[in-house]
Chain A
Amino acid sequence: MNELAITVIGPDRTGIVAEVSEALAGVGANLSDSTMTRLRGHFAMTLICTGAAAEDVEKALAPLQGVLTTVRAVAPEADADVAGEPYLVSVHGADRLGIVAAVTRVVAAAGGNITDLTTRLTGPLYVLIAEVDVPAGRADDLAAQLAVAAQELGVEVTLRRAESDVL
Chain B
Amino acid sequence: MSDALADWKPDVLGVEGKVLPVVTAPAGVLSSEGAEVDPADPAVVQLAADLVATMRVSPGCVGLAAPQVGVGAQVFVVDVTEHPKTVTAHGTFVLCNARVVEASRWRPGREGCMSVPDLTGDVKRAGRVVVEAVLPGTGEPVRLTTDAFEARALQHEIDHCAGKLFLDRVAGAHAIYQRKVYL
Q: Which residues of A contact B (CB under 8 A)?
A: 35, 37, 79, 82, 85-86, 115-116, 118, 131, 133, 162-167
Known: A82-B180, A82-B181, A86-B180. A165 touches B109 (CB 8 A): yes
Known: A164-B120, A165-B85, A167-B156. A115 touches B113 (CB 8 A): no
22 A-B residue pairings within 8 Å (CB atoms): A35-B174, A82-B180, A82-B181, A86-B177, A116-B174, A131-B177, A164-B177, A164-B180, A164-B182, A165-B83, A165-B85, A165-B109, A165-B110, A165-B149, A165-B152, A166-B60, A166-B62, A166-B111, A167-B112, A167-B113, A167-B157, A167-B166
Q: Which residues of B contact A (CB under 8 A)?
A: 60-63, 83, 85, 109-114, 120, 149, 152-153, 156-157, 166, 173-174, 177-182
List chain B residues, Cβ under 8 A from A133: 180
Q: Which residue of A lies closest to B156 (CB)?
A: A167
Q: Which residue of A lies closest to B58 (CB)?
A: A166
Contact present for B174 and A164 (CB under 8 Å): no
List chain A residues, Cβ under 8 A from B83: 165
- A62 CB → nearest B CB, Å: 28
Q: Which residue of B lies closest to A162 (CB)?
A: B110
Q: Which residue of B lies closest to A81 (CB)?
A: B181
List chain A residues, Cβ under 8 A from B60: 166
- A76 CB → nearest B CB, Å: 16
Binding site of A, secondary structure by majority: helix, strand, loop or mixed? strand
Within the assembled complex, what's the spacing in Å between the Cα atoms of A131 and B110? 13
Contact present for A164 and B153 (CB under 8 Å): no
- A151 CB → nearest B CB, Å: 29
A/B pair count, beta carbons within 8 Å: 53
Within the assembled complex, what's the spacing in Å between the Cα atoms of A58 and B153? 47
Within the assembled complex, what's the spacing in Å between the Cα atoms of A37 and B178? 18
Contact present for B153 and A167 (CB under 8 Å): yes
- A26 CB → nearest B CB, Å: 24
Within the assembled complex, what's the spacing in Å between the Cα atoms of A162 and B181? 12
List chain B residues, Cβ under 8 A from A85: 180
Contact present for B178 and A79 (CB under 8 Å): yes
Within the assembled complex, what's the spacing in Å between the Cα atoms of A24 and B169? 28
Within the assembled complex, what's the spacing in Å between the Cα atoms of A166 and B152? 11
Within the assembled complex, what's the spacing in Å between the Cα atoms of A86 and B179? 10
List chain B residues, Cβ under 8 A from A162: 110
The 4 closest A-B pairs by CB, nearest first: A164-B110, A164-B120, A167-B156, A166-B112
Partner of B113, one of A35, A86, A163, A166: A166
- B180 CB → nearest A CB, Å: 5
Contact present for A167 and B63 (CB under 8 Å): yes
List chain A residues, Cβ under 8 A from B111: 164-167
Within the assembled complex, what's the spacing in Å between the Cα atoms of A115 and B157? 30
Known: A116-B177, A131-B177. A166 touches B182 (CB 8 A): yes
Contact present for A115 and B178 (CB under 8 Å): yes
- B71 CB → nearest A CB, Å: 18
- A11 CB → nearest B CB, Å: 20
- A38 CB → nearest B CB, Å: 11
- A34 CB → nearest B CB, Å: 11
Q: Which residue of A lies closest to B112 (CB)?
A: A166
Within the assembled complex, what's the spacing in Å between the Cα atoms of A116 and B150? 30
Contact present for B112 and A163 (CB under 8 Å): no
